[in-house]
Amino acid sequence: MKPRIKTLSEKKLIGNRIKMSFYNNKTFELWRSFMPNRKKILNNIGTELYSLKVYTPSYFNNFDPNKEFEKWAAVEVKDFDNIPKGMESFVLEGGLYAVFTYKGLSTDDGIFKYIYGNWIPNSEYILDDRPHFEILGDKYKNNDQNSEEEIWIPIRSKEY
């Protein structure tokens, strides 16, 4: 599977966040709290949902599935003028990304094993210290093997 290499411009997001680990996965809890309230966000850009992960700079060194990171459920907005109560703003920094189109169950982590264990080590890129995220668009269907989403991995040249 070969990704598209894209330069992302800065985006403004509004949503909810939670601390979790791969071992103590709270994704269901996060989205269950976000989805009923997302209609309160009045200045959306598009209909896509963002599933964002913010890792510490050394997160992937000596990977430990118990190490915590921050996960967001969010939508893109024009501005931060009206942030609904109980939600927060997040500025997604722009930069270079490897974008993988994934089709299948979101519970299948094989795509991530391929990206981090195969594609990145054999590419001309290394991970960059920016958020990783998935865009859940019109073709995304929760718990459906025909679901499609985009996986955005922050990268920079090895020669950087």
- pLDDT 10s digits, 113-126: 899 999 999 999 99
pLDDT for position 58: 85
Q: Average pLDDT of 2-11? A: 96
- pLDDT 10s digits, 30-74: 999 999 999 999 999 999 999 999 999 889 888 888 999 999 999
| DSSP codes of every residue in 94-158 | -EEEEEEEEES-TT-THHHHHIIIIITTTSSEEE-SS-EEEEE-TT--TT-TT-EEEEEEEEEET
Residue type, 112: F
Residue 78 Rama label (left phi>0; alpha psi -120 to 50; beta):
alpha
88 within 8 A of 15, measured Cβ to Cβ: yes
- pLDDT 10s digits, 111-157: 888 999 999 999 999 999 999 999 998 888 887 888 899 999 999 99
**Helix/strand/coil for 13:** strand
- Which residue would you say has higher pLDDT here, 58 or 86? 86
Choosing among 3.40.50.261, 1.10.3720.10, 3.20.80.10, 3.40.50.300, the CATH entry for 4-157 is 3.20.80.10
pLDDT for position 159: 78
pLDDT tier at 160, thresholds 50, 70, 90: low
pLDDT for position 110: 84
